[in-house]
Amino acid sequence: MTKILVLSRAVVGPKMASPGIRAYQLAGALGRAIPGAEITLAIPGDKGGVDLPAPNVRLQVWEGNADATALARAHDIAIARNFPPQFARLLGQTRFALDAFTPLYIEWMELSKRDIQPRWRRTWMSGNRWYVNLQLTLADFIFCADERQRDMWIGMLMALALVPPAVYERDPSLRRLIDLVPYGVPQRPLDARGPVLRGVVPGINPGDRVLLWNGGVTEWNDPFTLLKAMDEITQRRRDVHLVFMGSNHPDYVFGPNAGVFARAIALAKDLGLHQRTVHFLDGWVPYERIDDYLAEADASVCLGYENLESRFAFRTRYVDLFRAHVPLLCTRGDVLAERVGEEQLGITVPQGDVNAVVAGIERLLDDHDFAAACRVNLERVAPTMSWDIAAAPLAHFCSSPDSFASPAGKRRLQAFARAGMYLAMKKVCMSPPPL
């Protein structure tokens, strides 16, 4: 019996963000695809309130890298978004599948602008580069969200000498080494159980129109252009309300008192929109109740920037909107935004263009034929994005005894060197500055 470990580095529970949701859903999809396997979903912290995603999946709490290493040693395959450096000791014993659905290095570059002092930022990012290189070195299989990301990761593998001629000759497509597992959606239909916005949130009346910002606000989001657009709309009409769904990220990536989110709340107050036509919900919407909010949305809006982050991003928050058939207004640049524009799933706009955002919102709300066509197109797209379909390449890897990566013996020395450099850089960043 194959023993598979899905190691979540993010919170899995009643309230969770996309990394935790992904770990939970992938464990369930593997359980359904490989019923003869024994699958462990390892989660940090308390496992109370978490249902089993499949009959052959068991839950395990892990605390610290020593626990994670012991769990990985006891399994044939370990799957994670990133592996602790201690896993280098297990190379060749446990096969590793790296979930590379986000461009970690680019995200950390953005977050470092907020969290790291300028004088330490270069050193901190250098350590992260060694960490990402370690992840790729450990991986027997890599799965990412789209072809654009796959090209990026293949380039990095080649630069690290992890695609020698022998690897290429075994599989010139490299699909057995790196393939696509997009972010998926549950197969069940939308399950809305009652109003949560209209007539519930103060100021939103039963006949009002609701725009939903699905998810939190991070450093790569642009709520400021949207708030300026809402200011213009509010001056003409009072029936349009914008709702930001989450203020306290379960993994503490952001909160209402720091970063872009805090600045967005401040701007909403300066414009006189706060809790008038722009509403920031407290806490974080429970995973099982997201459908309630999606069902009440006339449209959704999420803005960002046309930069390197968007080039390689896969906006997981869009996928739930596709499933709920909610037309979307978003900034151009990422791969799903291209799909929104090409398949008429909503409207795409240039970054920072307030006039385009105003026009886009009003078209989604007032052009009923256009909005209806978007919903029809979304209804066609949604069934192709189920977790079971998305996870098929990962299930194939787990069902096979082979690794198509460079032999573990040849990667081991590289792994130890990259783990050592990362730990050294981390120590430097954590050391107090000299007096």
> Per residue of the chain (435 residues), what is the pLDDT tens digit?
899 999 999 999 999 999 999 999 999 999 999 999 999 999 998 777 788 888 999 999 999 889 999 999 999 999 999 999 999 999 999 999 999 999 989 988 888 887 788 888 888 899 999 999 999 999 999 999 999 999 999 999 999 999 999 999 999 999 999 999 999 999 888 989 989 999 999 999 999 999 999 988 988 999 999 999 999 999 999 999 999 997 777 776 666 667 889 999 999 999 999 999 999 998 889 999 999 999 999 999 999 999 999 999 999 999 999 999 999 999 999 999 999 999 999 999 999 999 999 999 999 999 999 999 999 999 999 999 999 999 999 999 999 998 999 999 999 999 999 999 999 988 877 654 443
List the structure tokens of 37.
């396997």
248: amino acid identity, one letter: N
Q: How many domains would you assign to the chain? A: 2
15 neighbors 250 (Cβ within 8 angstroms): yes
Q: Are residues 140 and 262 in the same domain?
A: no
The tokens describing 299, both together, are 């449209």
What's the confidence (pLDDT) of residue 250? 78
Domain-located, residue 393: yes
Strand order in the sheet with 95-99: 57-62, 38-44, 3-7, 77-80, 95-99, 141-144, 178-180
Mark whether 263 and 122 lie in a shared domain. no
Tell me if 126 is assigned to some domain: yes
275 and 376 co-located in one domain: yes
Expressed as residue numbers, the domain containing 82 is 3-184+388-430
Alpha helices in 102-243 (DSSP H): 104-115, 118-138, 147-159, 165-170, 223-236
In 168-251, the DSSP E strands lie at 178-180, 209-213, 240-244
DSSP structure string for 1-46 = --EEEEE-SS--SSS--HHHHHHHHHHHHHHHH-TTSEEEEEEES-
In a domain, 79, yes or no: yes
My answer on whether 149 and 262 are in the same domain is no
pTM: 0.94
Same domain, yes or no: 324 and 405: no
- With respect to residue 86, please indicate whether it lies within any of the assigned structural domains: yes
Q: What is the CATH number of the domain that holds 105?
A: 3.40.50
Evaluate whether residue 202 is within a structural domain: no
Residues 65 and 113 in one domain: yes
Cα separation, 69 vs 319, whole angstroms: 33
Is residue 337 situated within a structural domain? yes
State whether 167 and 216 are in the same domain.
Answer: no
345, 347, 352, 357: CA torsion to nearest 10: -130
Same domain as 422, residue 378: no
The structure tokens listed for 400 are 């096979």
Same domain, 353 and 421: no
Residue 199 lies inside a defined structural domain of this protein:
no
**Does some domain include residue 200?**
no
* Alpha helix ranges (H) inside 252-302: 259-270, 290-296
CATH number at residue 329: 3.40.50.2000
* One domain, residues 154 and 221: no
* Same domain (yes/no): 357, 406: no
